[in-house]
Chains A and B, each alone.
Chain A
Amino acid sequence: MVSWTPPAEGAAEEVWNWLAAVKDPEIPVLTIADLGILRQVTMDGDHCVVTITPTYSGCPAMNTIEQDVLSVLAEHNVEATVETLLDPPWTTDWMSEDGRRKLEAYGIAPPAETSASKRAIWGEDPTVCCPRCKSESTRKVSEFGSTACKALYQCQDCQEPFDYFKCI
């Protein structure tokens, strides 16, 4: 499910494709397009307006992402402004399939269910697979991990400690 659509043609499409390669500074295997942080590119004459959305209110990566977007566009001599859009709020459901695969290969378990699931909010924890040995026998070490978007887990079979990308 995505709430945005990449522009289909023209200069906006070209800009989108450049920006789709910008890496998330904290999870550098994912791009801002994989994460669904890049929301919209529109052209107003020669001026480009890029809309991004924060994953978490206090996500310290947002300033870096904004700077990275502006420097990519500066390299292409495109004058641009970056706008932040809060509504609708970012959800892990916007992460691309490709992004989920890259995340797992990198050693971070992707979100285990959709954000609409009641269980993801209150009650039992979802079944999280170990990204190393694929075991389902894992335990949550902490609700919060190295960044706001992750929780800490450990595999009960291979003992690997790993990050889990939380559903929100």
Chain B
Amino acid sequence: MAASTHPIFEYALALGDDALVLGQRIAEWCSNGPYLEEDIALSNVALDYIGRARMLLSYAGEAEGQGRNEDQLAFTRDCRDFRNLLIYELPRGDFGFTMARQLAVDAFEVPFFEALTRSSDRTLAGIAGKALKESRYHLRHSSGWVIRLGAGTDESHRRMQDGLDQVWGYTPELFQMDAAEAALAESGVAVDRAELRQQWESTLDEVLKQATLGRPADDWQIDGGRRGVHTEHLGHLLSELQFMQRAYPGLEW
């Protein structure tokens, strides 16, 4: 990818990649859900993310002004050009892990999009207004499952706790600000992620208490997604996501 320095492009691309990659991950549950209704629920959540990705990547393409559209951005960039945070790309794992990751993400996205509705960039504010309404439903869904499984049987409690432990070290990246994002926040376009930490923690604490789950220790953390340094899992995800456009470049239907 040619170096692009347009800050709105970088910001919309990063948020768009978050949505695209998690939408693809959740969509993997389609036809693999624990039962029909949950299968449908996860497919609906995935669709919300894909919809966000389309709006954000289209906007990124406009901001860049090089003629790239949402499809070109989604289907023709390689791993190192993806800007999503690592938590969004982790494999879906078992249902417990999927819900632990979803709770961490939803509890972050509700206050994040709430703040982004006040962005001085009206397009981003408009996208945030839609995403906020959806994320509130996602949070109801994920917190409901974390509580049911955590306070359920010994087996479900153990697996829910495992999922939470495995995702925990990826959560600090949600609150990291690089220089470009900080400059955008300064000018009223971006959200200051660091400020959302307290609200996120109090949502998590409330859910974990009801779920009788322990809050993992903050003794490890991994980051790098915004710099394009990803886990080994992203390449496998992209090989499926991008297969058609890689095999038949420019294909339309």
Contact = CB atoms under 8 A, between A and B. Distances in A.
A88 B40 contact: no
Contact of A144 (B125, B126, B132, B141): B141
A29 interface: no
Contacts of B127: 57, 86
Given A58-B52, A86-B55, A144 B44 contact: yes
B39 to A, nearest CB: 10
B73 interface: no
B246 interface: no
A88 B54 CA distance: 19
Contact of B130 (A56, A121, A143, A166): A56
B37 A87 contact: no
The contact size tier of chain B is: 20 to 34
Interface in B99-154: 122-123, 125-127, 129-134, 136-137, 139-141, 144
B172 interface: no
B52 A57 contact: yes
Interface majority SS on A: helix, strand, loop or mixed?
A: loop
A28 interface: no
Contacts of B136: 121-122
B38 interface: yes
Contact of A88 (B23, B44, B129, B141): B129
Interface in B3-59: 23, 37-38, 40-41, 44-52, 54-55
A160 to B, nearest CB: 16
A144 B45 contact: yes
A142 B41 contact: yes
A152 interface: yes
Contacts of B55: 57, 86
Contacts of A148: 44, 47-48
A168 interface: yes
A63 to B, nearest CB: 11
A26 to B, nearest CB: 12
B150 to A, nearest CB: 18
A140 B36 CA distance: 15
A86 B129 contact: yes
A59 interface: yes
B40 A142 contact: yes
Contacts of B45: 144
Given A57-B51, A57-B131, A89-B130, A166 B137 contact: yes
23 contacts: A56-B47, A56-B130, A56-B134, A57-B48, A57-B51, A57-B127, A57-B131, A58-B23, A58-B46, A58-B49, A58-B50, A58-B54, A86-B126, A87-B126, A89-B133, A121-B136, A122-B139, A142-B37, A143-B144, A144-B37, A144-B40, A144-B44, A168-B137
Nearest first, the 7 A-B pairs at minimum CB distance are A58-B51, A57-B51, A87-B126, A86-B126, A58-B47, A144-B41, A89-B129
Interface of A: 54, 56-60, 85-91, 115, 121-122, 141-148, 152, 166, 168
Given A58-B48, A89-B132, A144-B44, 15 more contacts: A56-B47, A57-B47, A57-B127, A58-B46, A58-B52, A85-B126, A86-B126, A87-B125, A87-B126, A89-B129, A90-B130, A115-B133, A142-B40, A143-B144, A148-B47
